[in-house]
Each structure stands twice: as structure tokens, then as C-alpha cells.
Amino acid sequence: MNYLNYVIAAYAVFVIVLGWDFVSTKLQIRRELRGARLRAAREAARPGRDAELTR
């Protein structure tokens, strides 16, 4: 195959860019769910408004 280096470079660009698009989206979804889980844990640990104040 002639121009092999150019063909490999072009196909590598295609795979890398689409791969980045796939991985970055997966990580974003994971980050959002992790954030929601941590927020829920913080809110569960916080005492309620009507909780009695104690010394």
C-alpha cells in the first residue's frame, strides 16, 4: 500500500476523536451521578430544621 503513513494517520485521527467523544461523555455521566450521590449523602447527614437544639 502506498501513502501508508498518511492513511494510518488519517484513520488514527478518526478513531482518536470519536473515542474521545465516547469516553468524555461516559465520564461526564459518571461525574454527574457521583455528584448527585454525594449531595444526597450530605443532605441525609444534615440535621433537619425542626431538630431540637442541644447543648
Binding site for other proteins (CB under 8 A): 1-4, 6-7, 9-11, 13-14, 17-18, 20-22, 24-26, 28-30, 32-37, 39-40
Closest among 1, 20, 23 to 12, alpha carbons compared: 20
**Least distance between other proteins and beta carbon 53 (Å):** 27
CB of 47 to other proteins, least distance (A): 18
Smallest gap from residue 32 Cβ to other proteins (A) = 4
